[in-house]
Structure 1
Amino acid sequence: MMTHTLISRCFGALLLVISFTACEEKPMEPIVITAEDFHTSVNNVTQVMIHDIFSPPQASRIYAYPNVAAYEILSSTNNEYNSLANQLTDFTAIPTPTTTENLNYELAALVAHIDLSRRLVFSEDKITPYRDSLYQLWNTKNPTEYTVSKTYGLAVADHVAAWMDGDMYKETRTMPKFSVITDDPSRWQPTPPSYGDGIEPHWNKIRPFVIDSASQFKPVPPPAYSMDENSDFYKELKEVYDISESITAKGDDAEEIAIAQFWDCNPYVSVTRGHLMFATKKITPGAHWIGIAKIASRNAGHDVMQTMYTYTKTSLAIADAFISCWDEKYRSNLVRPETLINEHFNDNWQPILQTPPFPEYVSGHSVVSGAAAEALTSIFGDGFSFIDDTELPFGLPVRSFSSFRDAASEAAVSRLYGGIHYRAAVDNGLVQGKNIGRFVNATLKMKVNKDQVSN
């Protein structure tokens, strides 16, 4: 039988072992960031933009800056990619880290992406919980790596934000609304059902990212306004009406209706039921193409660097496409088909899609789709087929495309099927967008090994 002293000694030894074990430092778990983390961050900001109802031009800006910040951090340690400093207008090199010890560049890039995204939306509170949950997780896994990486990511975010603040966006918020008081029948007028003011009439003052100026890719003018039945303008107006009538006669199963609805991408559709008016909210055209970039990156098995390269190049092409397109919209200031068809052909006629509140020429979908398709083609090649499920959350089935250019062509013609654009706006807009995309491809030297040539 153990004596009291022996028991005490054993118990003491046991306490000593426990004490030493407790004092041992818990091994820190490395923080691993994947491409899916960036897909999630981009998707989160898309959802907030839908909630906040950002216009298509505004949404393009919100995508571009966070992507640039993340890309710059990642490319700084990857010898296959070049910095965008001195390639984008007024953009200077990001700060170098104060220390590289315990610095996780992919983590820093994600921190910068989330932080800038949060600054650019209205509903910051919808991004903050997501950010804070990640911060808590990372801090638990490896507090040293988390702190060093977060500090650097936020420093880069501040640098990009300072550059962002010089793009004239804040100044355009206080500029006059677009005046529509005119007796000129060729000029744009607000359209039903909400008769909203023209959106972003000063967007051509926003500093471009890659193109030299908003007017660099000015398209050919639209056909001269004329209600003479032999004029090109009248023929295009009549074509919109005839196509709409033909499509409607086929019923809801018409392929043209499916195409129009798939590419609608109107962030704010007014719905009137009796005395009640409300809105349905969806993604913008740029968001649809960012969704396609995600699909392509996933299908290609892209890693973090490749994923952010794809997002960044595509978003820059989209952002400059909107600046260029909006420059023409408020220059030509052309009346929408709905206004003239109601006045001259059928006062009860409604387009298949709701007419958005800004001038007709050129088609924004056509310009943006052309530019995005060229950027994506330069990365993945012209024969990259994919299934587009971007519109599934909005109750629309998937569509299959043999290439990005195939998708862009369908997006462009969807506006004619939808009854909201004339053919010239669709065709010339697509050409304008392709030219912008090709210019972005030729001008930006993002990869050390030259990207695939986009013909």
Structure 2
Amino acid sequence: MNSPKTRAALVASTALLVVSGAAPSAAAAPAPAHGRTSVALAWYDTTADTIATAGSSLPPVTNSRTWAVSWIAAARALQHVPSGVDRRDYQDAALAGAVHRALVELVPTRAPELDAALQQTLDQIPDGPAETLGATAGERQALEVLHDREGDGLDAASVNAPFTVPPAAPGVWQPTPPAFAPAIQNGSRFARPFLLKSASQFRLPAPPAPTSERYQTDLKEVRDFGELNSTVRTARQTDTANFWFDSSLTLWTKPIRVALAATSHQPLLKQAELVALTNATLVDTQIATSDSKYTYPLWRPVTAIGTGVGEIPADPSWTPLHTTPAHPDYPSGHNTYAGATETVLTALAGRRTAPFTLTSATAPGVVRTYTAWHQLTLENMDARVWLGIHTRLADEAGVKLGTDVARYGLNHAQSLFQEH
């Protein structure tokens, strides 16, 4: 039996990731060697549980930051193993020490659960210098990353900085029914990205005019398929819409875990980099999304249909399947998230995966099975239209923006893992 180890007692090769067109297909993870639990999967689950429990009231980008900070620290801690110690023991302790310390600092209310998770990991590692040095290195990297990201503008108050609503005009965003709440996530565009040079680096072009053929076509689609009591939307389309109404952060947590499990044959460093880069890219994607949304504050379908525009007559009684979120239409945030995640997972785990199932809190009883990341992206694009809350042009623009940010992140990942 190992001697008890506590958090207090322990406080004492950069990889360039590029998009590859020949990435291997994801497959089921092999059983861990020597009966030891996969430390990457164990701490992935601990991170997910921590955020699900304590982060429900926070903006998605704030929670994505927690993921990114924790796993960047882990990846940095794994890069260099001192000579004379067991590599696996050192790296397992380093990953656990990094993620544990970052999460304790960012979510202190979960310290007891996090301490117990750390103890469980350390109990699997033989006592000795590899364990002690690894855990200490992990904690040090966590503190350094936290220090580097201090004041980055991704706290909840900064993210939800007030937005002055422009005067009402065709195509201009206005607060939406039923709450007519103030706009949210306006401040994300002023935050400091992890990898992007600026929030506007991949700013989208302006959306088409409300009277253009493209906009009119897309608005008619939302009007017909996204209405609360639509007679043309099928039962499966309704299920898809409800399914993807849930948080993108929540819905993509399992697919990312599936990709992580599929790379279990790779070095632990590569596994940590997958989680770190995915979430750092998602932070940057949400920053870029806010930039385009508030540069072009395009009205939501409920406003456009209620007001009437071009060949579409006003219908003040029109109601979407679900309540419209309080921020502009263009681009769809769910779809920027989808485009970014699909791009990173494709590069690092392959385009296809062993079949996995997914459920959603907003579609009880609905279970979906997927074998490729792109299937999730396609459903996201359709779902936002069938919900009545986004135009298809906003969905397609979102996927493009997320893809652009992710490709840049993949090609500049080296700087993310350099110790500062």
Q: Provide the secondary structure at the position in 1 that maps to 2:353.
A: coil
Q: CA 1:27–1:59 in structure 2 vs 1: closer, same or farther (change >3 Å)? A: closer
1:274-313 to structure 2, matched below 5 A, reads: 284-299=247-262, 301-302=264-265, 304-313=268-277
Counterpart of 2:195, as a letter, is: V
Q: Distance in 1 between matches of 2:121 and 2:216?
A: 63
Deviation of 1:167 (Å): 2.1
1:133 aligns to 2:153 (yes or no): no
In structure 2, C-alpha distance between the alignment counterparts of 1:380 and 1:101, rounded to whole Å: 27
1:327 Cα deviation (Å)?
Answer: 0.5
> CA distance change for structure 1 residues 247 and 201 in 2, over 3 Å: closer, same or farther?
same
Q: Hey, what's the Cα distance between the residues in 1 that align with 2:54 and 2:132?
A: 29
- The offset of 1:392, in angstroms, is 6.6
* Matches of 1:414 and 1:430, distance apart in 2: 13
Pair 1:242–1:404, CA change in 2 (3 A): same
1: CA distance, partners of 2:159 / 2:396: 34
Distance 1:289 1:111, change over 3 A: same
Superposed, which structure 2 residues align to 1:35-114 within 5 Å?
A: 35-50=40-55, 52-77=56-81, 104-114=90-100
Query: How many angstroms apart in 1 are the aligned matches of 2:177 and 2:288?
Result: 26
User: Paired residue for 2:317?
Assistant: 348
Q: Alpha-carbon deviations, 1:209-268, whole Å to 9, x = none? A: 222221111112111134xxx6543333222102225983257x6221121112112xxx
Residues 394 and 299 (structure 1 numbering): CA distance in 2 closer, same or farther, change over 3 Å? farther
- Deviation, 1:183, is 3.1
CA distance in 2, matches of 1:354, 1:394: 15
* Distance of 1:245 and 1:134 partners within structure 2: 46
Match of 1:278? Answer: none
List runs of 5+ in structure 2 lacking aligned partners. Answer: 5-33, 309-313
SS for the counterpart of 1:248 is coil
Shift of 1:205: 1.6
**Aligned CA distance change for structure 1 residues 381 and 133 (closer, same or farther; 3 Å):** closer
Residue equivalent to 2:285 = 321
Of structures 1 and 2, the one with the larger relative CO (CA 8 A, separation 6+) is 2
TM-aligned CA deviation for residue 384 of structure 1? 3.0
Pick one of 416, 421, 427 that aligns with 2:385.
416
**Structure-2 residue corresponding to 1:257:** 238
Report the Cα distance in structure 1 between the residues aligned to 2:385 and 2:258, rounded to whole angstroms.
Answer: 26
Corresponding residue SS for 1:233: helix
C-alpha separation in 2, matches of 1:171 and 1:401: 33
Moved over 6 A (4+): 99-103, 138-143
Are 1:188 and 1:333, in contact at CA under 8 Å, matched by a contact in 2?
yes
Quote the offset at 1:391 in angstroms. 2.4
Identity percentage of aligned residues: 25
In terms of mean alpha carbon deviation, does 180-189 or 373-382 score higher?
180-189
Q: How big is the shift at 1:203?
A: 1.0
Deviation at 1:346, TM superposition (A): 2.8
Answer whether contact 1:363 1:421 (CA < 8 A) is retained: yes
Normalising to structure 1: TM-score of the pair?
Answer: 0.73
Identify if the C-alpha distance between structure 1 residues 431 and 353 changes in structure 2 by more than 3 Å, giving closer, same or farther: same
Q: Taking structure 2 as the reference length, what is the TM-score of the superposition?
A: 0.78
Partner of 2:342: 373
Q: How many aligned positions are there?
A: 377
Corresponding residue number in structure 2 for 1:182 = 167
Gaps of 5+ in 1: 1-25, 78-96, 266-283, 448-455
